[in-house]
Amino acid sequence: MIHAQVMANPTTFQVRPVQRTAYTGAHFRRNNLTYLVQFTNDMNGDRKYAYPSGAYVPTVPGIVDYGSETYDYQYSEITFEQVNTKAQEDVYKGRIYLEPSGFWYYVICEVNFYDGIEIEWDGNPFSLMIPGYAPINFGNDFDEWGGVGPEPTDYNKGFLGIIVEEGKLQVKQKPREVTYSSYDEGTKENYIYNGE
C-alpha cells in the first residue's frame, strides 16, 4: 500500500512497473515509454487519470528509474502534483485532485510512443503529451487535437500497453490545527468539599 497526504506536493510513489513491462529488450526506452495511472476512490467510485508530472517534458523528472537495464532494475519513482479543485486537474501534466481522502485503488498502464514522447517538428522539440496524441483513459480515447503540431497518426500517437501494476493508495487528511485560547483565572482558590 502506498501512503500519501492530501495536498502534499510533490506526491511521489515508489512502484515497480518495469518488472512487468511488455518491452522485452534488455534496455527499456524511457523516452518512448510513460505510464497512465487510473485512480478510483473506494468510497464514491470517482475515477481520475493522470500521467506522471514531467511526462509532458521528458527532461523534467516525473519518472525516475533506479536501474537502467531490466536485469538491474529496482524500482521507479513517479510523481504527481495535487491540486485544490477538480477544475485544476490536468491528465497530461500529472495534476490530480485526490479528494475525498481515504483509499484509492490505482492501476498503472504502459503508454508507448513509437517515435518518442518528444519529437522534432519544424526544427524544434515538440512534446506529444497534449490533446490528440496521448490517450486520456483506459478506453484508449483521445482529446480532440488542437491543430498544433503534426497531424496525429498511428506513428506519433501513444498507444496503451499492458497493465504493469495495481494496488491501494491511502490518502490521509492533513491533521487539523488545534487553536485554543488561554485565560488567566487570577488568584481564585478552588475548594473541594467532601460530603455535603
The pLDDT score that the predictor gives to residue 60 is 47
Between 8-12, 73-77, 129-133, 162-166, the lowest mean confidence (pLDDT) is in 8-12
Highest mean pLDDT among 29-33, 66-70, 98-102, 189-193: 98-102
- Whether this prediction's pTM lies above 0.85 is answered by no
Percent of the chain predicted with pLDDT > 90: 27
The pLDDT score that the predictor gives to residue 176 is 66
User: Is 80 exceeded by the pLDDT of residue 104?
Assistant: yes
CA dist., res. 48 & res. 184, Å (int)? 52
In a 10 Å sphere around its CB, with 0-12 CB exposed, 13-18 middle and 19+ buried, how is residue 194 labelled? exposed
User: In the predicted model, what is the mean pLDDT of residues 183-188?
Assistant: 66
Contact 126, 149 (CB under 8 A): yes
User: Is 90 exceeded by the pLDDT of residue 115?
Assistant: no
Extract the C-alpha cell encoding 21: 513491462
Mean pLDDT of the chain: 80
CA dist., res. 78 & res. 66, Å (int)? 11
Q: Which helix (H) or strand (E) holds 14?
A: strand 11-15
| Bridge partner residues of 66 (DSSP) | 75
User: Is 60 exceeded by the pLDDT of residue 29?
Assistant: yes
CA dist., res. 159 & res. 51, Å (int)? 13
